[in-house]
Amino acid sequence: MVGQHESVADADAVGWRFDNTYTRLPSPLFVPSTPARVREPRAAILNHRLANELGLDLGARSPEAVAALFAGQVFPVGSQPIAQAYAGHQFGHFTMLGDGRAILLGEHRTPSGRLVDVQFKGSGRTRFSRGGDGLAALGPMLREYIISEALAGLGIPTTRSLAVVATGDPVYRESMRRGAILTRVAASHLRVGTFQYAAALGDESTLRALADYAIDRHDPELATDPRNYLEFLRAVADRQAALIARWQHVGFIHGVMNTDNMAIAGETIDYGPCAFMNAYDPGTVFSSIDRGGRYAYANQPGIAQWNLARLAETLLPLLSHDPDEAVSLATEVLDEFPARFEEYWLAGMRLKLGLQSAEAGDIELVQLLLDWMQKSQADFTNTFRDLSAEGRALGDPYRDPDFLAWQTQWHERLAREGRSPAEAAALMRTVNPAVIPRNHRVEEALSAAEDRDDLSVLHNLLAALASPYDYEARPDLARYQEPPTDERGYRTFCGT
């Protein structure tokens, strides 16, 4: 590569501290891979805030050197690029997969000692590309940047976006588009599908090595537990219950909850046909490929449990030598999931209504509000924001008799806690966002970037999303709080 020695020094000076723990696993789980050469790398956006958290200084090198780094034209010292193997149930159908357009550079050690994966997405073909070109277009990569950073701002566990680099090469999809590479940071890229791949190999030693690695990486306290694999399954299930509840609290719809898109670490991963719900409707679907509503908003908890059942199936040989006992142990964990999810969901919904104690009728109180919202086609985010507005009169939609009846019950419930609506509002403003990445605003930002090479719209949107719970001090947020006038027919795409 041109200028490789100079650029390697640049990459090293950024502050990387790489390890390559995944490459110590059995070889069937990965293959060495090299990013494709690109014509003219140019940084579209760099996440300096995240870089600082990771102990990296992107400003220490020239823009050209940073662009070359995040385009995969040079490698940080100590990195060892690979493509990971995994499988997945995609819309219920099992397929052997792998990183078809992603390359893991390795694991970076942060100043706090935390180990995080650093991965390129859209960096060219690998052995797992299955006929695809392994490339990505600028719009979908910027979309992942926006939505993942929005979830981070909301406090929801997520992979993060460190950089998007335009490659200067065309990518051919439904039309010719500008190529780009995303750099993604994750607690790890271990997925339910990773375990499905290992199990499908039929080699218990490989499966055990993967499970031990996952425990060491994400649940090290379980390493000496005699029931470590069972408790690992329970820990993954608990993380997923908490994560999906957080999605539901803000109206986030992942759109493609295949098993290869469920991360063992409990982070949101892969932002293809994802979107945020505006008018409350449990059946909301935005994905162009989800024609049957498998991954609709209301179905996300059930799909999470279904995916966990697939994980449990892979772990059966490790749970017990007795197949019946293994099934019984796994089933016990899976059966706990609905109650665990409801516990997380209801706790979060109580906070959204300013409640800090628990009463038996709370779930009915919440459901009455949601039923009214669905009947009234009320905006999910703005309804909770309006309820959080201390001392402000609510508008015409809230004069509906059904809402007023619910409001009376809510105020009575607050009174039983000895708290006024004003006191409750202070709590509510910390959990009910004023701003989410509204679909029309996201499309507006992507169109400006792709069509006019104007990233100012995207930067303004990101600034609004960085502090989504900050209400009164942000008069500039008004345009980002407005739902679209008509979202019928709006669809999102996987971006592959």
C-alpha count within 13 angstroms, C-beta hemisphere, residue 21:
19
Residue 486 pLDDT: 73
Instruction: Tell me the pLDDT of the chain averaged across its residues.
Output: 93
Q: How far apart are alpha carbons 275 and 285 in whole angstroms?
A: 9
Residue 444 pLDDT: 96
Residue 488 pLDDT: 65
Q: How confident is the model over 362-384, as a mean pLDDT?
A: 97
* pLDDT tens per residue, range 280-295: 999 999 877 887 889 9
* pLDDT tens per residue, range 314-351: 999 999 999 999 999 999 999 999 999 999 999 999 99
* pLDDT tens per residue, range 214-252: 999 999 999 999 999 999 999 999 999 999 999 999 999
pLDDT score of 361 more than 90:
yes
Q: How far apart are alpha carbons 462 and 449 in whole angstroms?
A: 13
Question: Which residue among the candidates 10, 219, 260, 290 is catalytic per the annotation?
Answer: 260
The yes-or-no answer on residue 169 being catalytic is no
Residue 22 pLDDT: 98
Q: Which secondary structure element, helix H or strand E, spans residue 46, and what is its range? A: strand 42-46
Q: How far apart are alpha carbons 469 and 431 in whole angstroms?
A: 7
pLDDT score of 5 more than 90:
no
91 pLDDT tier (thresholds 50, 70, 90) = confident
* pLDDT tens per residue, range 182-222: 999 999 999 999 999 999 999 999 999 999 999 999 999 99
The answer to whether the CB of 235 falls within 8 A of the CB of 219 is yes
β-pair partners for 42: 166
Of the two residues 144 and 393, the one the predictor is more confident about is: 144
- Per the structure block, which two tokens stand in for 400? 């509906």
304 pLDDT tier (thresholds 50, 70, 90) = very high
Q: How far apart are alpha carbons 373 and 383 in whole angstroms?
A: 8
Q: What value, to the nearest 5°, has the Cα angle with vertex 81 and ends 80 and 85?
A: 120
471 pLDDT tier (thresholds 50, 70, 90) = low
Which segments of 136-288 are extended strands (E)?
160-172, 176-186, 252-253, 275-276
Residue ranges per structural domain of the chain: 4-190, 353-387+389-428
Q: How confident is the model over 466-479, as a mean pLDDT?
A: 79
Q: How far apart are alpha carbons 70 and 46 in whole angstroms?
A: 10
Q: How confident is the model over 466-495, as a mean pLDDT?
A: 76
The answer to whether the CB of 75 falls within 8 A of the CB of 104 is no
Residue 27 pLDDT: 96
Q: How far apart are alpha carbons 476 and 335 in whole angstroms?
A: 46
DSSP 256-324: ---GGG-BTTS-B---SS-EE-SB--TT---BTT-TT-TT-GGGHHHHHHHHHHHHHHHHHHHH-SSHH
Q: How confident is the model over 443-450, as a mean pLDDT?
A: 96
Q: How confident is the model over 78-94, as a mean pLDDT?
A: 94
The distance in angstroms from the start CA to the end CA of the chain is 27
86: Cβ contacts below 8 Å, ≥ 6 apart? 97, 98, 99, 191, 193, 194, 196, 197, 260
* pLDDT tens per residue, range 246-269: 999 999 999 999 999 999 999 999
* pLDDT tens per residue, range 17-27: 999 999 999 99
Residue 92 pLDDT: 85
